[in-house]
Amino acid sequence: MKKISVLFVCLGNICRSPAAEAIFIDLVKKKGLADRFIIDSAGTGGWHIGKEADARMRISAERRGINILSKARQINTKDFENFNYILAMDNSNFKNINDLKSRNSSPDFSSIKKIQNFRSAFKDLEVPDPYFGGDEGFDHVLDILEDSVSGFLESIS
C-alpha cells in the first residue's frame, strides 16, 4: 500500500508545524495507522534550520503526552513532489508555499491547504504564532491543532 505523505508548514518550523507534526504522529499511532503515513514539518523561512522546536512548545506538548522530536528545516521544491498534502498554519505561509511552487514550476502533485480548513471546535481561521507571546499561547495553539489535525485525519480516512 502506498503511504500518504503529509507536510505541516509554518514560518520558522519551531512552534506550530512541529507541534502539528507531533500531534498527527501521536494520533495515527493511537489509531494504529502509523505505517500508512510519512509525516514531516518545515518552515517557509530558514532561520532555525537544524534546531529543536521552541522549548516552550515542547514543554506544553509534553504535558499532554506529546513528544516533539523534529529538527527545523525549510520547505523546498522537492517537497511538492514528495508530499500528498502540504498544510499551512496561516495565510502568509499558504501564500509563501504557493509562491515557491509557482516560481519553480513544481509539479502539481501536492494538495496545498490551510490546516484550519479542517477545524471544528475553534473559530480561528489561522493558527496564531505563539513565539512572541506568553506560555498560555502555546497551550492555545496545541488546543487549536489537536482539533484541526484530527479533522484533517478524518477527512482523508
> 16 catalytic, yes or no?
yes
- 109 pLDDT band (50/70/90 cuts)? confident
C-alpha cell at 75: 520547505
Which of 10, 40, 90, 147 is flagged as catalytic? 10
Q: Which residues of 80-115 are buried (b: 16+ CB within 10 A; e: fewer)?
A: beebbbbbbbbeebbebbeebbeeeebeeebebbbb
Residue 157: what pLDDT? 84
Residue 121: what pLDDT? 96
Which of 40, 90, 129, 147 is flagged as catalytic? 129
Residue 106: what pLDDT? 64
Residue 134: what pLDDT? 85
Which of 15, 16, 26, 54 is flagged as catalytic? 16
> 56 catalytic, yes or no?
no
Pairing mode, if any, of strands 111-114 and 85-88?
parallel
CA–CA separation, 76 and 38 (whole Å)? 17
Give the pTM: 0.96
Helices 135-156 and 16-30 pack at an angle, to 10 degrees, of: 50
For residue range 29-83, list pLDDT tens digits in order.
Answer: 999 999 999 999 999 999 999 999 999 999 999 999 999 999 999 999 999 999 9
Q: What is the mean pLDDT of residues 85-109?
A: 90
Residue 104: what pLDDT? 81
> 10 catalytic, yes or no?
yes
Residue 137: what pLDDT? 94
Helices 55-62 and 16-30 pack at an angle, to 10 degrees, of: 20
Domains contained in the chain, CATH given: 4-156 (3.40.50.2300)
Model confidence at 21: pLDDT above 80:
yes
